[in-house]
């Protein structure tokens, strides 16, 4: 790989033998490199692929506008989170999280506080990501001698959630959290119950809803066109069928997506588990 531009002491923009631009990280890599130099493979710690020219410009702007100490610190935070999330984080998270944290640290020094209005929801629906984000905030506070608030853990958690999806779109992540909140409210008021959040069935249902919402946003649904089981479950659990209808109407109004009978069937099956019909016990 050949150095195209030195970004800072640890990052350089380089060109591969296939003439693709990549951003390369290594301790002291930028300090010892000049444009046109061949990179020493022994000094390379991480390579970030640049997908297109617009992405390259955006990533370069993020790096050039960030403090020198931040890139290796962000990569360290991502490495820690990746262990907790089974290596599912996208490579692009490095740039989006660095961009966010650069402004968050700047806001802290200027005394500007921004409230995270979905903090409660991200704690509730993404507890693993939130716990990892709290660890990241603690690390940042200790290493930089600052006091980022709990809201910042919520913001970082959003990036961790977003970094696990195929569609890297923070707007979609925020929409997902809103939809989770709204769907659980539909269930709560329809059945007039408080769902036990510590139950295994709640965790199963939450996981199902997370993937369900992602499918709705991405306009891809489960569809087998076998309605026999759907009709059977609908007839046996009419109240849960009505709840699935309310969810279907909500999705249609919000996203203009009409649920397939298979999607409704899986909703009903999970609803029966999480809100058992009268006289039945939850199966944990």
pLDDT in tens, 229-279: 899 999 999 999 999 999 999 999 999 999 999 999 999 999 999 998 875
Q: What confidence score (pLDDT) does residue 77 get?
A: 95
Task: Enter the DSSP assignment of 237.
Answer: -
Residue 280 lies in a domain: no
CATH number at residue 41: 2.30.24.10
pTM of the full structure? 0.76
Sign of CA dihedral 129, 135, 137, 139: negative
pLDDT in tens, 168-218: 578 888 899 999 999 999 999 999 999 888 888 898 899 999 989 989 998
pLDDT tier for residue 51 given thresholds of 50, 70 and 90? low
CA distances from 211 to 101, 148, 204, 218, 264 (A): 28, 31, 11, 10, 14
Q: CB within 8 A of 219, min separation 6: which ones?
A: 257
Q: What confidence score (pLDDT) does residue 284 get?
A: 53
Residue 213 lies in a domain: yes
Statement: residue 28 has pLDDT above 70: yes
Q: Are residues 156 and 186 in the same domain?
A: no
Q: What are phi and psi of 104, to 5 degrees?
A: -60, -45
Which residue range forms the structural domain that includes residue 214?
170-274
Task: Enter the DSSP assignment of 43.
Answer: G
Average pLDDT over residues 76-91: 89
How far apart are alpha carbons 197 and 178 in whole angstroms?
18
Residue 284 lies in a domain: no
What region does 5 belong to: left with phi over 0, alpha with psi -120 to 50, or beta?
A: beta
How far apart are alpha carbons 139 and 49 in whole angstroms?
27
């Amino acid at each position: 790989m050949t150095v195209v531009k030195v970004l800072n002491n640890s990052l350089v923009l380089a060109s591969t033998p296939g003439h693709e631009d990549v951003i390369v990280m290594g301790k002291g890599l930028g300090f010892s490199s000049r444009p046109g130099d061949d990179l020493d493979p022994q000094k390379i710690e991480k390579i970030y692929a640049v997908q297109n020219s617009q992405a390259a410009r955006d990533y370069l702007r993020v790096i050039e506008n960030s403090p020198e100490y931040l890139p290796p610190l962000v990569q360290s935070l991502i490495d820690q989170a990746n262990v907790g999330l089974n290596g599912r984080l996208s490579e692009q998270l490095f740039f989006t999280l660095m961009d966010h944290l650069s402004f968050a640290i700047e806001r802290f020094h200027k005394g500007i506080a921004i409230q995270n209005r979905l903090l409660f929801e991200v704690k509730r629906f993404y507890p693993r990501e939130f716990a990892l984000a709290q660890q990241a905030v603690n690390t940042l506070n200790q290493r930089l001698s600052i006091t980022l608030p709990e809201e910042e853990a919520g913001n970082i958690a959003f990036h961790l959630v977003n970094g696990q999806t195929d569609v890297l779109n923070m707007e979609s992540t925020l929409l997902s959290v809103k939809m989770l909140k709204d769907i659980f409210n539909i269930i709560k008021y329809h059945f007039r119950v408080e769902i036990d959040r510590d139950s295994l069935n709640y965790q199963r249902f939450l996981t199902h809803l997370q993937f369900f919402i992602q499918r709705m946003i991405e306009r891809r649904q489960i569809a087998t066109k076998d309605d026999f089981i759907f009709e059977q479950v609908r007839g046996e659990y009419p109240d849960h069928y009505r709840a699935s209808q309310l969810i279907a109407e909500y999705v249609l109004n919000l996203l203009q997506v009409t649920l397939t009978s298979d999607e409704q069937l899986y909703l009903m099956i999970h609803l029966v588990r999480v809100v058992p019909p009268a006289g039945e016990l939850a199966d944990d």
